[in-house]
Chain A
Amino acid sequence: EAGVTQFPSHSVIEKGQTVTLRCDPISGHDNLYWYRRVMGKEIKFLLHFVKESKQDESGMPNNRFLAERTGGTYSTLKVQPAELEDSGVYFCASSRDNEQFFGPGTRLTVL
């Protein structure tokens, strides 16, 4: 069974630019989550999809972040415009029930 995949693995952009991160969950997992770890901090929850619906987006930091999961399969997380403090590692996870399986993360660097 293929695991959670994320693309790209690394992204370096300039302040003010737009970046879109993609997550492909494990096939059949209705639950999809986004987390991130910014420099010096712990991993923090961003949001949770159940199929294509946003179940909980309480962790989204501000309206520069937009997550979508059209069709309930893969998800994208767009940051527009990116700021310096957005630098960090963005993880996606998926689950069928309790256990969340994490992808390798996308390292985002905003210069």
Chain B
Amino acid sequence: GESVGLHLPTLSVQEGDNSIINCAYSNSASDYFIWYKQESGKGPQFIIDIRSNMDKRQGQRVTVLLNKTVKHLSLQIAATQPGDSAVYFCAEKNFGNEKLTFGTGTRLTIIP
């Protein structure tokens, strides 16, 4: 896939366990944050987003936590499944500026 040569942090989790993927962002002016999932041969796929006026948001099996004090974002995936194996990216943007700034990504591997 397109991540060949890209040395990503990796996380291996047993199927059924919970996983937490972390991301540090640099721009304190960012007010919108998104987690994307990228499977091999595909483009980034939206998972969940959160605005800067929130510190937690839940979706189906996923939770995003935002700590603006330390500029940290995390993605929690509950009861992981083999289909969760992918590269996960956090991204941020500022109000009024549509471009996304991506983090380096984390490769999540679910062990059956």
Interface membership of A74, Cβ < 8 A = no
List the interface of chain B (C-beta within 8 A of A). 2, 4-7, 32, 34, 36, 41-46, 49, 89, 97-105
Assembled-state Cα–Cα distance A58/B46 (Å)? 24
Pair B99/A39 contact, Cβ less than 8 Å: no
Nearest chain A residue, comparing its CB with the CB of B46:
A99
Pair B104/A98 contact, Cβ less than 8 Å: no
Please name 10 pairs of A and B residues whose Cβ atoms are closer than 8 Å in the assembled complex, sorted by A: A42-B89, A42-B103, A45-B99, A58-B99, A95-B98, A99-B46, A102-B45, A103-B43, A105-B2, A107-B2
Assembled-state Cα–Cα distance A43/B43 (Å)? 11
Chain A interface extent, by class: 20 to 34
Kindly identify which residue among B6, B44, B101, B104 contacts A91, using a CB–CB cutoff of 8 Å.
B44
Nearest chain A residue, comparing its CB with the CB of B45:
A102
Instruction: Provide the residues of chain B in CB contact with A51, threshold 8 Å.
Output: none
Q: Say yes or no: A42-B104 contact (C-beta < 8 A), given A33-B99, A37-B2, A59-B99.
A: yes
Decide if the interface of chain B is mainly helix, strand, loop or mixed: loop
Assembled-state Cα–Cα distance A99/B35 (Å)? 11
Decide if the interface of chain A is mainly helix, strand, loop or mixed: strand
List the interface of chain A (C-beta within 8 A of B). 4, 31, 33, 35, 37, 39-45, 48, 55-56, 58-59, 88-89, 91, 93, 95, 98-105, 107
Kindly identify which residue among A35, A40, A104 contacts B6, using a CB–CB cutoff of 8 Å.
A40
Kindly identify which residue among A4, A48, A56 contacts B43, using a CB–CB cutoff of 8 Å.
A4
